[in-house]
Structure 1
Amino acid sequence: MTSLSEKVASLENSHLAHPQYRPDIDGLRAIAVLSVVGFHAFPTWLKGGFIGVDIFFVISGYLISTIIFKSIKNNSFSFSEFYGRRIKRIFPALILVLSACLIGGWFVLLSDEYSQLGKHTTGGAVFVSNIILWNESGYFDTSAEVKPLLHLWSLGIEEQFYIFWPLALWLSWRLRLNILLLAVALAIFSFSLNIANIKNDPSAVFYLAQTRIWELLAGSLLAYFAIFDSGKMSIFNLKGKTFINAASMAGISLISLGLICINKDDSFPGWWAALPVLGTVLVIAAGPNAWINKSILSSKMFVWFGLISFPLYLWHWPLLTFARIIESEMPSREIRIALVSISIILAWATYFFIERPLRANNSRFKTPALAALMAIVGASGLTIFNLGGLPHRDAVKDSEAPNSQFVGPLWKFAKNDTCINRYPFKEAQSYGWWFCITNKDEQPTLLLLGNSFANHLYPGMATEEKLRTQTVLSIGACPPDMGSPSEEKSEVTTSPCSGPRAYHQKLLINNIIERSGTIKYAILDGLDVKPSAAYIQNINERIDYLEKRGVRVIVFIPHFTANRSLKGCFARPLKKASETCDISPEFRTKIYENFKPAIEAISKNHPNVKFFDQNELFCNDKGCSLVQDGMPLYRDEYNHYSEYASKKIARLFTNWAKYNAPDILDD
């Protein structure tokens, strides 16, 4: 995202060498930032616009490495000056945008949203956003569209690269090692990691530096040949108008092909990223005299957007995201056009009134002052996160009760130390999510068996007064039908249920059942609403195993699914409730009809199995709704019960159990 190509007002007695200013590179950066902004604002218009980040990576690698190579060649490289210049270049705009987000969030974000913003602000301040976002990615992750600082992942990768790369080059130069060999080896290693892991761990490949630095190193290699090459590799030492024009045209064509052909559903970066990376390398290698570079990329409009590209990148995504959060949906086209226009104005103002004046200021206190301000911003974000998003703010305190249910991925009932210590499962340490929670340090009597839709029953079952003598155990992350020895050699992905993992979990649960001998009931939840014959057979086999060991089975009929956040059903700062959360009673009937073959098949093979229709939670004589008593029944957009709903379903279950499973209840 960063720029070193614009003219520097003052070098402040610099010892570092500087690349010759090339307006065409600013023009290339304009293509990159406008592609990203276009994709974020109008994703159906420019499906491959996100490759603008890859263009930025190559440009940054080229410019930064040019400085480092020239400086070490002249024996004038200074770490303090290098990182000082990074602070003066990056921090002013970033501090402003982070601060604006925290201030804006105070007035418009609910407590869970503001808490997450605080965490991401701290991550952005210390340049580890990519690592934080990678740790959040997965089944329970909040949608990317409502993370105002999501875009800082790329800045994290750049800055992490700038921490190790100058040191590696300096040491290699001092030790007389082959710098070219180092760069090539690292680039090949990084690209290989990218290709090897893109299918089984796409989130890690996308967010982590080790699988993306090959893109920056592509720019670094270009810088190496521009400075050290004596014509050995002609592609980096282009001669002749025909050749340079062909290279430039080929580069623009590859970038254009990427913008048109790549979309977010592709495995990216993977092989696809080679299009924008190679295209950018060719455009830069063609030099400023190629016709496209000189006549188009160096034009005033392209250069102007290139100069404001960094603040434009910083501003546009928070504005679009805040609007989406407030609207509870994609804002209208008119709103998005207005927000893009505002982003451009803010970027221009940031560049001309903050970045340029600060760059011209030669005060020796500038760098420590910027570092101190960034530390304050990061500490503020951490405080907001630790205080749970400050739920008692005037802007949100009136809606504190329903808002407290929207905890998203931060589900405190996923696991606890009592369960983990009692039932250690080392393999789960590599899972994206794992459920292991119990209400007592005793042998289990009631097992919640299934995926997250079984786990979300836990807070209600564990606290319901009529179940107070039960030791409730929720363990495992996979649906009850999964787990077979034949899966031992299957491919492992980020899912806890991929490869042999589901089978290993089944063995763990079976061991608990057999060794304890105390489990009297198992509740199966998270079943397919429209199960196939093979699926039903697997469930029957699982029930058969349980019943042979004296475990009585209760199957929860699948519950309503909305696949959307319920926040739009409630008023929030700057926005009244925008949508109804009523559901047609016919939906309940359809769920039952779709699941009926499973009920009939299971009842035929296991007549003692009971079926509980949990959709009673949503419906009464007035109709069906996803909101009851002014409280949301889901905690996130993935149809997981809120804590309120879990407790209410437990009360409905105990009323049902009086007639269907009375011995599960306390006297």
Structure 2
Amino acid sequence: MELGKQVVAGSGFAANILFWRQSGYFDVATELKPLLHLWSLGVEEQFYIVWPVLLWLAWKKRFNLLSITVLIAVASLIYGFAAAKNNTVAAFYSPASRTWELLLGALLAYWNLHQPGWLHQTRLRTDAILGRIVYTHPPEINGDTLRNVKALLGLVLIILGLLIISKERRFPGGWALLPTIGAFLLIAAGPNAWTNRKILSQKLLVWIGLISYPLYLWHWPLLSFARIMEGETPSRTIRVVAVVLSFILAWLTYRLLERPLRFGKYAAFKACLLIGAVSVCGVSGYYIYKKDGFPSRFTELTQQTQQFLWPETLNRNEACKALHPDAEGDYCLTNATTETERIILIGDSHAKHTYPGLAAALPSARGMTQLGNGGCLPFTDTESTGVGGTDPCVASINKALQITKNDQVKTVILTSRGPLYLTGKGFGDVDVHNRYIANKNHPDIKDPSLIFELGMRDTLSQLQKYNKKVIVVLDVPELGFDPKNCVESRPLRLTDKAIKSPCAVPRKEFEARNKIYRDLIQSVAKDFPNVSVFDAAAPFCDDNWCWAMKDGKMLYRDDDHLSIDGSNFLAQELIKVLQ
């Protein structure tokens, strides 16, 4: 289904918009998106569609095209810098924040075509200055020194970008200047610069340049499908084979498709053929998406996969918004009415996976309401963000805590994936999450443990004033692996890797990950007589293992979130505390 959606978006030059909208706490790892690389083609095509129209309008109104180009490039650059500080996802995928990179090429083309006199004179003066700096006896002022310096500097900037830029950086923002300016300088230096003539003109590099576009199209799907089929990061051998195969397929694509399509006769016919092919891809992708995959898929594998799905009905509902119109965030969900006694569950996605089982287990006289937001501790004035993200938590959690003042609310349950916030990172190789917490009223405090404790104490004090019974949940175990590896859920694998057994995480690893978190919860809770602590991990763990599957039922839908069966399993124990 997801692949069909990606095919539709890619065919419509909107892959960047799709992946932008999909980003969030429940977004899957980038390695599991085979067409993720099409985001950049989406940005480019959107630029190529809009920019000529803007140029034509500017020309019709007799505006200076160079001025317009510079103005829009600067505006895009400033927006990109600001977006990278507040929301790196928007900065990465938005065409508005990437337009300046493409407009640098437009500026270079303009200068080469029109050769303004002032630019020529500036080049000669700069060449003379550089000649005196670089050489003992300055050579003839002919632009060679400037060309060589530009090319060398451009290559250095690109190499620096490769070495420095990582997923921990707030990219693009200022870091995008390194590869972009580097490429600009290399191209601006021209073919006669020493770096371009002696290094980049080597036959191997020229060959890679010729196949670079199909290489870009092939490499990521091969690596991504290898990751999907193996259920974890593929072995080094598989990754090397995928890269080598991408070069072979790129060369074949260049020779058999790209060259015949780009050159030769029948240009109009080729254009129509390509439009038809893209349309067929788009329609096929839409069909796959609407049918949730091909109907001919193996029934057994489909049934295995179903247990990992989360029903849409367990997302925000209108009944909750009617009951709590002031609720913030996307988690507002309830089965309560104005007449029932209410239990309010507040927290992050681990509150969300607690809700269905507990709501079903409660008697009809007691209603259940879930409030909160993804990636948010259930504590007052506690901010939480990912890399380059904005805080969604203070408004939604503070509002949720205010809602608990209602007299019909007797019990408040607070739960979250605590170790994530205390360590700042997920657990295991499959977990891509990161969260950084802060206290809105004490921004000077940087220690996550102190921030966690301060937020918890303030929250429990507030609920104590409201005279509420409070249950603080010690979180379920994180697995650190994909539970899909515990069943045969894939029709094809690259290796004969056995199904994971046992389907569990060692208890020692669980305890090491959770010690600081669990000790902190217990230490704070003992100071509040109205607070009970429920150990959600206890039903899942024995002396040696914490299990993802029990009695043939899969209790998890991914590496840290419970499935529907897992939620029901947890509710059997939590309901005892509520009763």
Give the TM-score category using the shorter length: 0.7 to 0.9
Distance 1:399 1:648, change over 3 A: farther
Q: Match of 1:645?
A: 566
Q: 1:479 aligns with which of 377, 380, 400?
A: 377
Determine which of 557, 560, 563 is the counterpart of 1:635.
Answer: 557
What is the alpha-carbon distance in structure 1 between the residues aligned to residue 187 and residue 30 of structure 2?
32
State the AA in 2 paired with 1:165.
W
Specify the code of the residue in structure 1 equivalent to 2:115: D
Question: CA deviation digits over 1:564-585, x for unaligned, max 9?
Answer: 3222222222235443322334
Residue 504 of structure 1 is aligned with which of 385, 389, 395? 395
Q: 1:598 to 1:340 in 2, by over 3 A?
A: closer
Structure-1-length-normalised TM-score: 0.73
Match of 1:37 in 2: none
Q: Distance in 2 between matches of 1:569 and 1:118?
A: 26
Is contact 1:405-1:635 (8 Å) kept? yes
Pair 1:456 & 2:359 matched: no
Q: What's the offset of the Cα at 1:416?
A: 1.6
* Amino acid corresponding to residue 474 of structure 1 in structure 2: Q
Query: Counterpart of 2:372 in structure 1: which amino acid?
Result: G
State the alpha-carbon separation in 2 of the partners of residues 254 and 444 from structure 1: 64
- Kindly indicate whether residue 280 of structure 2 is the aligned counterpart of residue 376 of structure 1: yes
Task: Output aligned runs, 1:473-552, within 5 Å.
Answer: 473-477=369-373, 478-483=376-381, 498=391, 502-514=393-405, 516-526=406-416, 528=418, 532=449, 535-536=452-453, 538-552=455-469
Q: Is the 8 A contact 1:481 1:542 kept in 2?
A: yes
Q: Kindly report the root-mean-square deviation, in angstroms, between the aligned alpha carbons of the 2 structures.
A: 2.9
1:172 CA displacement: 1.6
Partner SS state of residue 205, structure 1: helix
On the 8 A contact 1:483/1:505 being kept in 2, the answer is no
Whether the 8 Å contact between 2:505 and 2:545 is mirrored in structure 1 is yes
Q: Indicate the residue corresponding to 1:95 in structure 2.
A: none
> Percent identical across equivalent pairs?
38
Q: Distance in 1 between matches of 2:389 and 2:162?
A: 30
Q: Structure 1 residue 220: deviation in Å? A: 0.6
Q: What's the counterpart of residue 405 of structure 1?
A: 307
Matched, 1:319 2:222: yes
Unmatched segments (≥5 aa) in structure 1 = 1-114, 429-433, 663-667
Asked if 1:310 is matched to 2:213, the reply is yes
Superposed displacement of residue 270, structure 1: 1.5
Q: Is the 8 A contact 1:480 1:527 kept in 2?
A: no
| Cα distance in 1, alignment partners of residues 117 and 555 from structure 2 | 68
- 2:71 corresponds in structure 1 to 185
- Give the Cα–Cα distance (whole angstroms) in 1 for the partners of residues 464 and 160 of structure 2: 59
- Are residues 1:149 and 2:32 paired? no
What are the superposed Cα offsets for residues 523-546 of structure 1, whole Å, 9 maximum, x if unpaired?
111163579466345434423433
Matched AA of 1:403: T
Is 1:358 aligned to residue 256 of structure 2?
A: no
Task: Say which of 22, 40, 44 aligns to 1:158.
Answer: 44
**Who is 1:218 aligned against?**
104
Instruction: Output one character per residue of 1:605-646: Cα deviation in whole Å (capped at 9) or x when no partner.
Output: 21x433222123323588531122334322233x11112211
Q: Which residue of 1 aligns with 2:198?
A: 295
- Structure 2: how far apart are the matches of 1:373 and 1:252? 38
Residues 359 and 368 of structure 2 are in contact (CA less than 8 Å); yes or no, is this contact kept in structure 1?
yes
- Are 1:602 and 2:525 counterparts? yes
Q: Using the alignment, how far apart are the partners of 1:459 and 1:474 within structure 2?
A: 10
**Gap change, CA 1:176 and 1:523, over 3 Å in 2:** same
Residue among 330, 342, 366 paired with 1:470: 366
1:194-238, Cα deviation, whole Å (9 max, x unpaired): 111212111111111111111110111000111123332137798
**1:535–1:279: structure 2 CA closer, same or farther, 3 Å change rule?**
closer
Q: Which of residues 379, 385, 389 is equivalent to 2:293?
A: 389
Distance in 2 (CA, whole Å) between partners of 1:603 and 1:280 is 60
> Structure 2: where are the runs of 5+ without partners?
128-141, 423-447
Under a length normalisation based on structure 2, what TM-score does the superposition of the two structures give?
A: 0.83
Quickly say closer, same or farther: Cα 1:283–1:231, change in 2 above 3 A.
Answer: farther
On the 8 A contact 2:357/2:570 being kept in 1, the answer is: yes
Flag as ranges the 4+ runs of structure 1 deviating above 6 A.
Answer: 235-238, 490-494
Give the letter for the 1:202 counterpart: T
User: Paired residue for 1:94?
Assistant: none
Query: Could you tell me which residue of structure 1 aligns to residue 332 of structure 2?
Result: 436
Kept in 1: contact 2:84–2:173 (CA 8 A): yes
Q: Are the structure 2 counterparts of residues 631 and 377 from structure 1 closer, same or farther at C-alpha, using a change threshold of 3 Å?
A: farther
Inter-partner Cα distance in structure 1 for 2:464 and 2:538: 27
